Amino acid sequence: MAMENRQKVLNLLGLAQRARKLTAGSDMVLKQIRAQKAVLVFVANDSAANTRKKFSDKCRSYNVSLSQELSALELSSAIGQKRSVVAVTDKGFGRKLLELLST
């Protein structure tokens, strides 16, 4: 992912957080995935291997997009909370973030 797009993704995550369209924390994100409310899940690329695998498998089985592009520090500073797992629950934000991630 290009550096400018990385910054746009982080900014958009902060905006989604302020708009209350994000869910953070492993348990809460799992609930959102199971309820099929998660559009896109971010798992920090430096989180534990079993955490990455658990969310990778869960997202695959519920057909939810998953990104492991960002570090825990980047995710945490973007949303203003110390987190390594974040779910976007708004289709508009999800679509725009996926667009930025794919370029």
Among the four given CATH numbers 3.40.50.300, 3.30.1330.30, 3.40.640.10, 3.40.5.50, the one describing domain 3-101: 3.30.1330.30
Going from the C-alpha of 16 to that of each of 38, 46, 49, 50, 63, the distances in angstroms are 13, 22, 27, 27, 21
Q: What is the pLDDT of residue 103?
A: 79
Q: Please state, rounded to an integer, the average pLDDT across all residues of the chain.
A: 95
**Which tens digit of pLDDT belongs to each residue from 37-81?**
999 999 999 999 999 999 999 999 999 999 999 999 999 999 999
Residue at token pair 């690329």: 45
| Entry pTM | 0.94
Token pair of 20, please?
């209350």
Per-domain residue ranges for the chain?
3-101
